[in-house]
Structure 1
Amino acid sequence: MLSVIRTRTSTFLTACFLASAAVASPDSRPATAFQMAVAEFAPSGSGIAEFYRTNGFSPVWVGDTPEHAVRRARLIKALSASHLHGLPEGAFSVQTLVDQMENARSTRDLGAVEIELTRAFVEYARNLQSGALRPRDIDDGLVRKVERKPAKDHLHGVISVENGQYFDELAPQTYQYKALMKQKIALEHLVQQGGWGATVPVAKLEYGDTGPNVIKLRNRLVSLGYLRPTASPEFDDALLAAVQAFQGDHGLAADGVAGQGTLSEVNRSASDRLKAVYVALERERWLPRERGERHILVNQADFSAKIVDDGLVTFETRAVIGKNIHDRRSPEFSDEMEHMVINPSWYVPRSIITKEYLPKLQSNPNAVGHIQITDRSGRQVNRGAVDFTQFTARNFPFAMRQPPSKSNALGLVKFMFPNKYNIYLHDTPQKSLFAREVRAFSHGCIRLAQPFEFAYALLAKQEEDPKAFFHRVLASGRETTVQLDQHVPVHLIYRTAYIGPKGEVQYRRDVYDRDRKIWDALQKAGVALPDVQG
């Protein structure tokens, strides 16, 4: 197909010459047949139409210069290879575009070709740079604002960069994206070859066991790359190490016991893993291009929070995320951490007050006694003087606050990136939850297993002895706000497939069912898995 572009027919070249000879009128209104055709076919009121008006209706694609030829070839090549990025082909058939170019017989035809190529380019550029889907259309927890360039910016970009190099700059240039692309190619080949072979019956297998199921587990782990081939029927030291390595790469407790949870992940098909990689690529396209030299990355699917400096993870801790029910799932978005509060009060969210605490107060005015009830002026309310049964969720007039203490719901420190979702990172007195494999228990905020150490790492940029500073403030017992001299970008993401620090692919369970929804949306948009060999 690309050779068609390189060996253009004389008719098309003649038409290109006519287009390149067109000269805009001084007031930038269309003056030639080509310019009038471009104005006619450009979508009315669109960014495309605006671009051509400001560009004097000059051709981007169909001129007869070497630069135009390079752009045409690069565009057709890019559109033909869009599936390599896990993108839908979109509304534009490459073959249809090529046919339309070859069949151009008039300057007006050429104007139509120019606009069709532009429309295909803009859709491709937006999809590759910012994702093919709009997050908010998929799940109400996907509140991320995706940076989408206007059409005119993409068009100005492609004409200002020589040799078609603008196409090379569209995809995310991150290590994650490039490594996921390699994993995608490997999995596509594997899927076409039939996957990882026979699955393992779901049962418990552990060190010392023998028998056919152990052999099946061994064979499966050999196919997955965790073991060297062997016919041993025993669950020996080598198999134990392989199971533990697999568990570590899949967010499972690395106890070496192949129980139901582990075997369920072992038995996941190559197609399932490939879907996760397709979704991860789309999610990577949604993230800001500039993440911040120092930033905080919370992967909800991994139940982890990390501080990243110049691309390297310099601190990592376990995290608890929102419970998997509709109004508690942690949302996904990016913001900037501005300060931390040491010895924080917990100002109870209105939703918790009305849904959880008001019914208890109506049954017993002394319920939840560790929480202060305050009026609009912040004065504490005498519970005994209030008839709580007269209030509903709509007209309850009071606020509720838990003063600083070790038993405070926020623990002893919270980390603030003010946002309309009232989400932040914080300590918690419920330390036992961090030992769980699946850690979805909060009302939506992110709880940290090592909040003090997290604070030291943040303060290290501005305090000579961050630990001593932190504990001096903590020992005061007073609620104290500590500003960060440099705000730190925070990215709350959800990634069930990602590349680990040693280049290994890691997979996590889709605890919120969000990735399934994204995959379904990608399929509807035209993304398809490769065919399996018969």
Structure 2
Amino acid sequence: MRNFTFLSVIIAGSFLMFSFKSAKTDKLKNEIPEFENVASSNVFSFGTITAEEINSFFKKYPKLKMYQKDVEELYKKKEYNLIWYDDKNVSEFGALLYHKVKRLGEQGIKAEMPYNELVDDVFNENVSNKLPKTDTELLLSNMYVFYASNVYSGVDAQTLKKIGWFLPAKTVSYDRILDSLMQDPDRLNKDENLLFSQYYKLQDVLKRYRNIEKKGLWKKIDIDADTYKELRPFDSGTIVKQIRERLFVVGDLKEDSKNQIYDEEMMAAVLKYKKRYGLKLNYTFTKEQIDQMNEPISKRIRTIMLNMERCRWIPTELANASEYVMVNIPSFRLIYLKNGKYDLVSDVFVGTRMTETVIFSGKIDRIVFSPYWYVPASIIQNELKLKIAEDKNYLADHNMEWNGGHVRQKPGPQNSLGLVKFMFPNPNDIYLHDTPAKSLFDFEKRIFSHGCINVREAKQLAIEMLKDDPDWPIDKINNAMSGEKETTCMLKRKIPIYIGYFTAWVNDDGEIGFYPDVYDRDPSLDKLLYSDSVTMN
């Protein structure tokens, strides 16, 4: 397929002519039944517009004022040439974009553009009283900014900081995006240079779950709360049949045998389901887990939509990075990606509700083996002073000592940081570290720390990070982790780390995981986005 090509010729200093051909539009044409009626000319004749006309337009349509700055910038970059006209008609690309705006729900967006009824009239052949050409042109430019800001940007950077999202801000150039979309309209459907790849995975699952809802396949599982006992392998009954049906509907079972016995086939599906929900991997089904299955599918759909929004905030460069560490707080999971592949996946536990782990990014610049733990002043004030007052040997018994007016715990296997920590400078004094409290990883909801991230496979993470460094063979790492003295390794190449918050995540096999909203961030984001059907920007 050929891309759009532009051949510019200056005619009488007032119009710019473009030839415009593309086979790429065929695919999108098929999606729009009324497409053939919109614009048939292949020749663009761009007139011009003035800054005064733009200013007058926003006085006439004050509800679009929020887009004025971006629209003005768009025309400055286009040297005030018209964008949306093909000879005397609105261009085919304008029709394609209108079609995408009308189907914003597929993007998990409920926003509604002001004056949308006037935009509808532009593409309605039965409307005889058309708007002036200048009004139509600027209305469509506002439609584009409305679409791009909602789909490619999402919530603005200032609001993100207010809701505690401190990952790198995504920069968006509406002018460059428009150029790329006009050159290849197929990018309206998918473009991983514009949106984090996880977004499109969630979009596919959103479509699937809406189909389940539409067909009425999400049926309630009937239990008697007073008499229900944990369901175990080889139990039988109607409830087994109902759970089996649900596992089939959501894709954990390939076929629904209608069998009322909890057989081996269903056992494998139960493990798959529990893994997707971050539950302990066993074959029993508790009442709480049945209650979870009985949550309405509308809640699952909303969760998917909220996490699609979070994906809009992620710079797309992240997906193209060759090496980084990502921690997802709700899934209690750390991923170390190297050379484009998952090199290590580890369980973690994070901060309590009182000491939440902050959502931000940094760069790991050093690994400290057999570290000292310098006890934060807040812990000394709120916890240690009382314990020292009650037991004068408390510090010695816990391998602690005073050091320059501070309390620190000496290196060793019982050190609160374990035998290794990973440092990345940040104002919150948060880092990754090992822990002696390995039993805490057996809990499903792992919020135990004072804000730092405790890593189950901390030693293996250090080994993987230093695998290509000849100065740090495994024997040297083992010796440094003996707990005898603190040893620092400065990394030759800093490793980006991202601490994020996703309550739904789709893996490479298209399987979606739903995770607990441990810091209750979903309701506040839901209120921000969907309290009414208005634009997010």
Normalised by the length of structure 2, the TM-score is 0.79
Task: For 1:36 and 1:411, locate their aligned partners in 2 and report how far apart those are by CA, in whole Å.
Answer: 66
Q: 2:214 maps to which residue?
A: 192
1:216 and 2:242 correspond: yes
Q: Is the 8 A contact 1:424 1:445 kept in 2?
A: yes
Which aligned pairs between 1:111-260 and structure 2 lie closer than 5 A? 111-132=134-155, 136=159, 140-149=163-172, 153-159=173-179, 162-164=183-185, 167=188, 169=191, 172=194, 174-201=196-223, 203=228, 204-227=230-253, 228-260=255-287
Residue 389 of structure 1: aligned partner: none
Secondary structure of the corresponding residue to residue 354 of structure 1 = helix
| Unmatched segments (≥5 aa) in structure 1 | 23-31, 380-397, 529-534
CA contact (8 A) 2:167 2:500 kept: no
CA distance in structure 2 between the aligned counterparts of 1:215 and 1:262, rounded to whole angstroms: 16
Tell me the equivalent position of 1:356.
383
Tell me by how many angstroms 1:457 deviates. Answer: 0.5
Which residue identity does 1:423 align to in structure 2?
I
Structure 1 residues 527 and 192, CA gap change in structure 2 (3 angstroms): farther
Letter of the 2:69 counterpart: S
What residue in structure 1 maps to residue 430 of structure 2? 423
Q: Which residue of 2 aligns with 1:278?
A: 305
How far apart in 1 are the matches of 2:78 and 2:264?
Answer: 69
AA matched with 1:38 = I
Q: Structure 2 matches for 1:512-531, cutoff 5 A? A: 512-524=519-531, 526=533
SS in 2 for 1:353: helix
One of 335, 349, 374 as aligned partner of 1:320:
349
Structure 2 gap ranges (5+): 1-30, 59-64
Contact persistence 1:196–1:270 (CA under 8 A): yes
Quote the offset at 1:81 in angstroms. 2.5
1:8, distance to aligned residue in structure 2 (A): 5.9
Aligned counterparts, 1:26-175, within 5 A = 34-41=50-57, 46-53=69-76, 55-62=78-85, 64=87, 69-92=91-114, 94-99=116-121, 109-132=132-155, 136=159, 140-149=163-172, 153-159=173-179, 162-164=183-185, 167=188, 169=191, 172=194, 174-175=196-197
Counterpart amino acid of residue 52 in structure 2: M
2:487 corresponding residue in structure 1: 480
Structure 1 244/47 Cα, relative in aligned 2: closer, same or farther at 3 Å? closer
Give distance in 1, aligned partners of 2:191 and 2:472. Answer: 42
For 1:336, what is the secondary structure of its paired residue? strand
Q: Write the deviation string for residues 296-342 of structure 1: whole angstroms up to 9, x where unpaired.
A: 1212111111112344212111111112x23x121222222221111
**C-alpha separation in 2, matches of 1:113 and 1:218:** 54
Q: Percent identity?
A: 26
Q: 2:177 & 2:444 partners in 1: Cα distance?
A: 47
| Mapped contact 1:338–1:483 kept (Cα < 8 A) | yes
Give the CA deviation at 1:499: 1.8
The one-character-per-residue Cα deviations of 1:193-252 (angstroms, maximum 9, x if unpaired) are: 224213142531112433343343334334444443344433333333332232222211
| Alignment map for 1:481-500 (pairs within 5 Å) | 481-500=488-507
When structure 1 is superposed on structure 2, of 264-273 and 128-137 the one drifting more is 128-137
Structure 1 counterpart of 2:144, one-letter code? F
Tell me, yes or no, if the aligned pair for 2:419 and 2:483 is still in contact at 8 Å: no
CA-CA distance at 1:39 after TM superposition = 4.2
Counterpart pick for 2:473 among 466, 470, 477: 466
Q: Contact conserved, 1:139 with 1:517, CA < 8 A, in 2?
A: no
Instruction: Identify the residue that residue 29 of structure 1 maps to in structure 2.
Output: none
Is contact 1:404-1:477 (8 Å) kept?
Answer: yes
Contact 1:305 1:317 in 2 (8 A): yes
Q: How many residues align?
A: 482
- Give how far 1:476 is off: 7.9
Pairing 1:446–2:453 present = yes
What is the CA deviation profile of residues 72-103 of structure 1, one whole-angstrom value per residue up to 9, with x for unaligned ones?
Answer: 22331231222211123343454422436878
Is the contact made by 1:5 and 1:98 (CA closer than 8 Å) also made in structure 2? no
CA distance in 2, matches of 1:294, 1:339: 15
* Equivalent position of 2:406 in the other structure: 399
Change (3 A) 1:406 1:223: same
Give the alignment's TM-score, normalised by structure 1: 0.79
> Matched residue of 1:233: which SS?
coil
Shift of 1:4: 7.2
CA–CA distance in 1 between the matches of 2:35 and 2:269? 51
Alpha-carbon distance in structure 2 between the residues aligned to 1:92 and 1:229: 47
Write the deviation string for residues 421-458 of structure 1: whole angstroms up to 9, x where unpaired. Answer: 22211011111111222211111111011111010011
**What's the Cα RMSD here?**
3.5
For residue 340 of structure 1, what is the aligned residue in structure 2? 367
Structure 2 Cα separation of the partners of residues 272 and 450 of structure 1 = 33
Distance in structure 1 (CA, Å) of the matches to 2:450 and 2:508: 30
CA contact (8 A) 1:301 1:508 kept: yes
Within 2, Cα distance between the matches of 1:170 and 1:122? Answer: 19
